[in-house]
Structure 1
Amino acid sequence: MNLASLILYGLAALFLLAAQHPFVTYKQSLRLFRRRALIVPDPSLARPSLSVCMCAYREEAVIAMRLDNLLTMTEAYGGAEVLVYVDGSDDRTAEIALSYEPRIRVVNSPVRTGKTAGMKRLVAAAKGELIACTDANVLGEPDALIKLAQHFQDPAIGCVSAKLAYVNRQTTQTANSGAIYWEVEENLKRIESETVGLIGVDGALFMIRAKAYRDTPDELIDDLYVSLSVLKQGLRVISAPDVVVTEKSAEDWREEFRRKRRISCQGMMLHLRTWSQWRTLPFAQAYGYVSHRLLKWLIPFTCSLGGLFLVLGLAVQFGFLRMVLAIAACGLALLVLALAKFRPARLLTIYLAMLAAVGTGVIEALFFKRTYQTWAPAASVRD
């Protein structure tokens, strides 16, 4: 082995180490941080006043079921106001939501402004000491709001996120791959919650102190911005794994590609616009942000560079022609196995497509300054 090969292998190892860090070495490194215990909630204490805020766009297929579910949850809580923002929807979403008044309050926008702008408008009108933000396509148990609110008996808690589970993993390989990824993500969040604090809540359902809520610029993703703002105030952001909400994952790989592309673009754009705020976080939270967010968005590039340097190192050591033939053979084998519906091969192709989606979104943010202030929900899971 010559010096050139060693240098190339070293570069490959460096980039591949960065690629796996958000899910492997980061998770292990969190064990070095002090675990922070939670207080045991007292169910006899009076619950704070609560406002539930939800934005909806083209949700006519699920909005009635979701509102029935929300009203069941608020009744179990002991009464809470429900505010719904309909974002210029061109279907029957507003009509169905308005039929629930006066049990809920509906803000029906004639034009599209996006979820972030809608949430800000609802929070500004909310009267509760606690604000629960939720999506229009998720379902939760009747006691979900009660369990989330109990954590706020600890004055150090500023925001609590429910756990999201996908319920349609058996429908397609795309849905299955999304469910597998999210299980890994939720496991990481559990450890993160106990140590450095949750770096980004799940928009499916989270609860925040009204006084800790900070407005997000309309073109940025509010879930991450709001939770980072809570950490910035010195309050804890935690996950409540006993509070599970469910929804369906995208079943068509093209829909999932667009979703991953949008989310990564939003995340990178948030980083570009607001990094000056988060770089002054305490070390533990700043380390979590860089590890779990920034490096995760960069995985397509660290993986690609790591693979490139590995191939170049092997080519220098064993010959370029051999490497070209080996790569072509591996690619052809993967294609044949995927077309033959061999499950591991199909999962791998889906994950490669999702990495491409994330990379595309990052490039859109870095070089084209694109924002996704508005978007349409995946049609394959709205039934």
Structure 2
Amino acid sequence: MLVWLFYIPLALLVYQFVLFPLALYVLSRRRAEPEYAELSDDELPTVAFIIAARNEEDIIADKIDNSLSLRYPSDKIRFIVIANGCTDRTTEIVGNYKDDRVELIEYGEIGKTEAQNRAVKDIDEDILVFSDANTPYAEDAVYELVKPFQDQQVGSVAGNHIYMSGEDSRSSTEGFFWNRIELLYKKTESVTGGALGAMGSIYAVRRELYIPLPPDIVSDFWEPVLIAARGKRTVFMESAICYEAAENPDLIIEFQRKSRIVHRACYSLVHYRWILNPLRYPRLAWLIVSHKLMRWLTPFMLAIPLMAASMRMVIGRGRWPQVCYFVAMSLFGFFALLGRGFGRTTSVPVLTPAYYASLMFYAAAKGVYTSFAGDQLSTWDRAR
């Protein structure tokens, strides 16, 4: 029994981090990336550019200025700031803009998803673009986002969220993950039939396909997924770019943020568990399990072999694979503890990333546990 508990989780980890991306790569090599024609101003669809904001007085003016400078016909785009439970000067700053294209909608603390649902009810533009206050766009980002909608089979488009990493090991680790690893996933998934979800900072959907979601559902992931379940595709446009500084936040705050993300993601998956039916949605079920669910369960797939190896060694039946794994995980834990001691004041190569990774594993484990324990989160904290 202990042997199975040791090898099965490790085999799942090998599948998740090696075989699954390899399968995506092989499948993507058999298909060419689609090319989209350039569009004239007359051919471009109308756009509602929706900015989610919660207590963003420090950055909301920069975000609006950046949005107004985007290369898109001024008579075909409208900028809607959704102020969700703001208690600072965010609404005052937005209200001071005299440009007719800038509109403010205020809500109480109802959560990001519910605020978007209510705002979209009164929008009749062709395309909805969703953005966050802390992510400036490249000049042609909206233009690039709408190009794939020339294809009537495209229901949503995911943009390219780039983290601008600093020298600190924590920010470099996060920037590397999103800019390199996640980018490869999205590109290969897009080419092989459709990307899985999007980043809430930059994605677009057809207005007629928008699906109002429950308040406690992660909209940027499930909106594109549910559109895909209707037979439409989500395209990843690498050329549609927004930027975010990969800051070096307090790790406890970062832990809480990651835990909330995983909590809501798992809760959402339970809510839409019917989409995991491999007979009805074979591709979506495969991608969600391989790309998302197994990632959230990684802490458990690391811990179970460690416990099995420890028990095998205690009863004197440990073999070299168990011993090597036990030593490797012990070293990782030792480095993480050292990183915890040094990382609060400075970054130390190897030690700080080890501490950051261990904290994120713990955050994921906590998020999974609290989700299946029945806790709910519908309100929204700032992106930072």
CA contact (8 A) 1:22 1:291 kept: yes
Following superposition of structure 1 onto structure 2, how do residues 198-213 of structure 1 map, counting pairs within 5 Å?
198-213=195-210
How do residues 136-147 of structure 1 correspond to structure 2 at under 5 angstroms? 136-147=133-144
Q: Which runs of 5+ in 2 are unaligned?
A: none
Counterpart for residue 176 of structure 2: 180
Which amino acid is 1:169 matched to?
A: G
Task: Encode CA deviations 1:64-85: one digit per residue, 9 max, x unaligned.
Answer: 0001111112645763011111
Q: Kindly provide the CA deviation profile for residues 296-317 of structure 1, in whole angstroms up to 9, marking residues without a partner as x.
A: 1111111211222233344433
Structure 1 stretch displaced more, 351-360 or 96-105: 96-105
Question: Partners of 2:223 and 2:138 in 1: how far apart?
Answer: 24
Give distance in 2, aligned partners of 1:30 and 1:77: 40
Which residue does the alignment assign to 2:311?
312
Q: Which residue of 1 aligns with 2:230?
A: 233
Query: Paired residue for 1:346?
Result: 352
Q: Give, in whole Å, the separation in 2 of the partners of 1:190 and 1:377.
A: 28
Distance change >3 Å, CA 112–CA 23, structure 1 → 2: same
Note if contact 1:84-1:122 (Cα within 8 Å) is conserved in structure 2: no
Cα pair 2:216 2:376 within 8 Å, conserved: yes
Q: Which amino acid aligns with 1:156?
A: Q
| From 100, 103, 108, the counterpart of 2:101 | 103
1:3 is aligned to none
For 2:365, the aligned partner's letter is G
Number of residues of Structure 1 aligned to a counterpart in Structure 2: 368
RMSD of the alignment, in Å?
2.6
Kept after mapping to 2: 8 A contact 1:168/1:249? yes
Maintained 8 Å contact 1:232/1:281: no
- CA drift of 1:337 comes to 6.5
- Distance verdict in 2 for CA 1:333–1:192, change over 3 Å: closer
1:186-219 C-alpha deviation (Å, 9 max, x unpaired)? 2211111111421111111101111111111011
Q: Which digits, 9 at most, give the CA deviation of each residue in 1:248-302, with x for residues without a partner?
A: 2352212211111011000000011111245365312221111111111111111
Please say if 1:88 is aligned against 2:90. Answer: no
Shift of 1:178: 1.5
**SS of residue paired to 1:83:** strand
Give the C-alpha shift of residue 222 in structure 1: 0.7
Which stretches in structure 1 are left out of the alignment for 5+ residues? 1-6
Range with greater deviation from structure 2 (191-200 or 150-159)? 191-200
The SS at the match of 1:132 is strand
1:71 matches 2:68: yes
1:108-129 per-position Cα deviation (integer Å, ceiling 9, x unaligned): 12x2101001111121121211
Hey, what's the Cα distance between the residues in 2 that align with 1:281 and 1:113? 34
Amino acid at match of 1:17: A
Is 2:34 the partner of 1:38?
Answer: yes
> TM-score normalised to the size of structure 1?
0.88
Q: TM-score, normalised by structure 2?
A: 0.88
Deviation at 1:174, TM superposition (A): 2.5
Q: What is the match of residue 377 of structure 1?
A: 382
Identical-residue share of aligned pairs (%): 23
Deviation at 1:10, TM superposition (A): 4.2
In structure 1, distance between residues paired with 2:177 and 2:232: 28
Alignment check: 8 A CA contact 1:39 1:154 kept: no
Could you say which residue in structure 1 is the equivalent of 2:273?
A: 275
Q: In structure 2, the residue corresponding to 1:139 is in which secondary structure?
A: coil
Which structure is richer in relative contact order (CA contacts within 8 A, separation 6 or more)? 1
Give the secondary-structure state (helix, strand or coil) at the position aligned to 1:167. strand
Task: Check if 1:127 corresponds to 2:124.
Answer: yes
Shift of 1:240: 0.7
Question: What is the letter of the counterpart of residue 188 of structure 1?
Answer: Y
